[in-house]
């Protein structure tokens, strides 16, 4: 008896080990909705083109509806021996309507079938991720508006550098997420071509209408080259690339939260909703949600690298290696979705300690640049000379274990006689941030305006979407 998947060429079924390595139903069942959607569009086109009789197409459509209902109800039985989601659905269709189920595969191969299914799934997932990123941006922008004037230290090399505001810091991540969304939107636009109709690799001799199936599935156009259609996985790589960059951004914010909640920083607190305790140390409140966001970034990046390695040596067109494109992508994009949700929750939950932040903002002589700028602006010094004078004053204050603002005028004039009492008008963390009025700077007025702009923009997007 021949194998029912592969026809008369094979006299028997696969070895158990072959079945184990070959089967993909354990993960590609996630493509069920997209597979049914693609099959509906395909059979409707076949009927319209006169390739399949309308009564057969209607029976197939009714059978697909029943299968979708069974899958949604959880009563559909997935069979490992049928290898993948495509054959599981086709086999069940045959049980429902009989041999006419076989007409569905006319002018179609599993190669173009999986290509269209996976594009549809990736496209759906990109749309969901975009909504999640927008919600995270909204949370960040709202908290930024609340804290537009809250002074905190800004760091370079994780050393206190210049005072900034907490709102300004949060808005930096809004900008990062904006780029992340832009990358996903760009990838979505490029992937929105329909490979259905490329068949195994060379196209088909049947008079199909690829424009019709592309329209029915919401694609902009059919793909232009049948070889590329079935062998292309750029659409997965691009989305995983954008996802990996987003995961890096989330990981950086997660790392900052991990630092901020330590007693040594004490900048913010997270509630019980996003922390855990210790089995042995009763005082502990661990930022596990943030740590897991940081950790899962590695999974997303790893999935991108894994698929690039799979694809790098494949000649045209389809090879079974490409079955390895899905598990990593499913895991990566599910992980990213979970990380975005967790970060959105943490941002809404965290409580900043504004007094602690402000006190830390003055540490490490963070207002030294303000002093140097004053020397340039008021005494017309070249900046390099002002830098040197300020460095000498920092050393003097450091030796005395006081802040720059605690030096007397006489102390300052001992280093630079031209300094006047007016210098003290710029020495202070709040004075420092207020002075940073250049576009994109940390002045509270700037931050408030930017936060309001983002809140309004994101609210408008949400209203338009829904």
Active site residues: 157, 278
Strands 268-269 and 151-156: unpaired
Angle at which helix 110-146 crosses helix 325-349, to 10 degrees, equals 10
* Residue 198 and residue 112 in contact, taking contact as beta carbons nearer than 8 Å: yes
In angstroms, the CA 235 to CA 340 distance is 22
In angstroms, the CA 147 to CA 140 distance is 10
| H-assigned helices in 222-367 | 226-231, 234-260, 288-311, 325-349, 354-361
**218 in helix, strand or coil?**
coil
Q: Say which DSSP state 164 is in.
A: E
**278 in helix, strand or coil?**
coil
In Å, how far are 310, 411, 414 from 426, measured between CA atoms? 58, 17, 19
* Residue 420 and residue 429 in contact, taking contact as beta carbons nearer than 8 Å: no
Q: Which residue has the tokens 């927008």?
A: 134
In Å, how far are 64, 135, 186 from 127, measured between CA atoms? 25, 13, 12
**132 in helix, strand or coil?**
helix
Cα end-to-end span (Å), the chain: 55
* Residue 78 and residue 88 in contact, taking contact as beta carbons nearer than 8 Å: yes
């Amino acid at each position: 008896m021949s194998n029912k998947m592969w026809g008369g060429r094979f006299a028997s079924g696969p070895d158990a080990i072959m079945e184990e390595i070959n089967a993909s139903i354990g993960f590609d069942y996630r493509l069920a909705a997209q597979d049914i959607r693609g099959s509906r569009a395909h059979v409707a086109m076949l009927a319209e083109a006169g390739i399949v009789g309308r009564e057969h197409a209607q029976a197939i459509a009714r059978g697909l509806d029943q299968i979708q209902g069974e899958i949604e109800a959880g009563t559909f039985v997935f069979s490992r021996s049928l290898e993948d989601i495509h054959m599981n659905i086709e086999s069940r269709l045959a049980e429902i309507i009989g041999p006419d189920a076989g007409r569905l595969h006319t002018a179609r191969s599993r190669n173009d079938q999986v290509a269209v299914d996976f594009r549809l799934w990736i496209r759906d997932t990109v749309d969901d991720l975009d909504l999640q990123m927008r919600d995270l941006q909204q949370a960040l922008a709202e908290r930024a508006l609340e804290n537009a004037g809250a002074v905190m230290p800004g760091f370079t090399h994780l050393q206190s550098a210049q005072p900034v505001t907490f709102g300004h810091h949060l808005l930096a991540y809004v900008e990062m997420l904006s780029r992340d969304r832009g990358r996903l939107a760009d990838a979505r636009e490029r992937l929105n071509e329909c490979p259905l109709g490329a068949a195994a690799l060379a196209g088909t001799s049947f008079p199909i209408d690829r424009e019709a199936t592309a329209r029915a599935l919401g694609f902009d156009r059919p793909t232009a080259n049948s070889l590329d259609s079935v062998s292309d996985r750029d659409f997965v790589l691009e989305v995983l690339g954008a996802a990996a960059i987003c995961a890096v951004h989330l990981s950086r914010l997660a790392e900052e939260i991990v630092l901020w909640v330590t007693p040594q920083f004490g900048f913010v607190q997270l509630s019980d909703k996003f922390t855990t305790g210790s089995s042995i140390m009763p005082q502990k409140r661990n930022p596990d949600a943030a740590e897991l966001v940081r950790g899962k970034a590695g999974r997303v990046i790893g999935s991108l690298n894994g698929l690039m390695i799979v694809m790098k040596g494949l000649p045209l067109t389809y090879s079974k290696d490409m079955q390895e494109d899905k598990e990593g992508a499913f895991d990566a994009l599910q992980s990213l979705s979970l990380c975005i949700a967790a970060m959105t929750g943490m941002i809404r939950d965290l409580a900043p300690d504004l007094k602690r932040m402000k006190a830390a903002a003055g540490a490490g002589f963070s207002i030294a640049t303000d002093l140097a700028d004053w020397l340039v602006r008021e005494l017309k010094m070249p900046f390099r000379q002002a830098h040197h004078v300020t460095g000498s004053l920092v050393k003097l204050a450091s030796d005395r274990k006081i802040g720059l603002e605690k030096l007397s005028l006489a102390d300052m004039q001992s280093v630079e006689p031209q300094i006047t009492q007016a210098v003290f008008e710029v020495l202070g963390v709040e004075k420092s941030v207020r002075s940073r009025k250049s576009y994109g700077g940390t002045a509270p007025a700037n931050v408030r305006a930017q936060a309001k702009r983002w809140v309004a923009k994101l609210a408008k997007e949400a209203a338009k979407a829904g």
